[in-house]
Amino acid sequence: MKNKIGIISLVLWVLTVGLFAIFFVKGTTTVSSDQRRAILLSPSEKDLVLGEMRTMLTAVNGVLGALSENDMKKAALAASSAGMAMAVDTSPILMAKLPLDFKELGMGTHKAFDDISAAIGKGATLPEILKSMHQITNRCVACHQVNRLSSAELSFDKRQNQFALNVEKNYEWKNYQK
Ligand code: HEC
């Protein structure tokens, strides 16, 4: 009897970990109206990711502005404002919703900002810094070309008498109808 419970709990454990692993790799996605991959987040998670995006745009703007004034200290500071430190408090639930390749590209971008900041500190030349900045903007472009964010909330649908996803308009509903 004891043994059986042990086996059942082991099977449940493996299933739970396995499911989480699948989620961690695939994230929660569907196809958006413009055929990009749409990542489904709650409204507040979407706000958080978009806030990070604006921080990165501000960092790019800050680095270029500082470089144009030949102010290397300011350029390094602007680059580090979009470094890994800004991504540390991302919740595990949000992380699970983002597909693995999205997480890798996103984290790699934050790291690249830190690397630029360090390189400027070590006396990198203007062409070297610009080359690294271009490699960063390549990442922005690559990710935006294939990804989109959409917010979805689970709410109780009285007509269907069940919980249903309340999805923004840039979704195609057919994705949810079996
Ligand atoms: C790992 C993927 C990824 C990377 C890398 C990335 N972005 Fe984004 N970004 C997104 C997604 C997804 C959106 C939402 C687009 C949509 O829903 O149409 C977005 C939206 C934005 C927005 C709009 C913000 C708002 O408030 O609406 C800005 C600005 C932005 N990104 C800037 C950048 C910049 C600058 C970089 C590079 C330094 C960058 N992003 C790198 C995925 C990424």
Binned at pLDDT 50, 70 and 90, residue 173 comes out as very low
Is residue 17 one of the residues assigned to a domain? no
**What mean pLDDT is predicted for residues 159-163?**
72
CA of 144 to the centre of ligand 1 (A): 6
Binned at pLDDT 50, 70 and 90, residue 66 comes out as very high
Q: Which of 30, 53, 57 to probe ligand 1 with, by most ligand atoms within 8 A of CB?
A: 53
- Give the max Cα distance, the chain: 76
Binned at pLDDT 50, 70 and 90, residue 154 comes out as low
The CATH code of the domain that includes 169 is 1.20.120
Tens-digit pLDDT profile for residues 113-125: 999 999 999 999 9
Ligand 1: residue whose CA is nearest its atom 13: 148
Q: 167 has which bridge partners?
A: 152
What pLDDT sits at residue 163? 64
What 3-state class would DSSP assign to 95? helix
Domains identified in the chain, total number: 1
Higher pLDDT, 86 or 123: 123
Residue by residue, DSSP assigns 49-90 as HHHHHHHHHHHHHHHHHHHHTT-HHHHHHHHHTTSGGGGTT-
Is residue 11 one of the residues assigned to a domain? no
Distances (CA, A) of 15 to 12, 24, 57, 87, 100: 5, 14, 41, 29, 20
What 3-state class would DSSP assign to 13? helix
Q: What share of the chain is helix, strand, coil (3-state, %, to 5)?
A: 65, 15, 20
Tens-digit pLDDT profile for residues 88-115: 778 889 999 999 999 999 999 999 999 9
Q: Rounded to 5 degrees, what are φ and ψ at 165?
A: -80, 130
Higher pLDDT, 17 or 115: 115
Is residue 16 one of the residues assigned to a domain? no
Is residue 84 one of the residues assigned to a domain? yes
CA of 41 to the centre of ligand 1 (A): 14
Binned at pLDDT 50, 70 and 90, residue 171 comes out as very low
Binned at pLDDT 50, 70 and 90, residue 142 comes out as very high
**114: buried, middle or exposed (CB in 10 Å: 19+, 13-18, 0-12)?**
middle
Is residue 137 one of the residues assigned to a domain? yes
- Length, in residues, of the chain: 178
Which residue range(s) make up the domain with 119? 24-176
Is residue 12 one of the residues assigned to a domain? no
Give CA–CA dist 105/143, Å, rounded: 7
Residue with tokens 């144009």: 68
Give CA–CA dist 119/48, Å, rounded: 29
Q: Rounded to 5 degrees, what are φ and ψ at 122?
A: -90, 10
What pLDDT sits at residue 76? 98
What 3-state class would DSSP assign to 81? coil
Ligand 1 pocket residues where CB is under 6 Å: 50, 53-54, 56-57, 60, 102, 105-106, 109, 136, 139-140, 143-144, 147-149
Is residue 9 one of the residues assigned to a domain? no
Q: Are 145 and 115 in contact (CB under 8 A)?
A: no
Ligand 1: residue whose CA is nearest its atom 1: 106
What pLDDT sits at residue 52? 95
Is residue 74 one of the residues assigned to a domain? yes
CA of 50 to the centre of ligand 1 (A): 7
What pLDDT sits at residue 155? 64
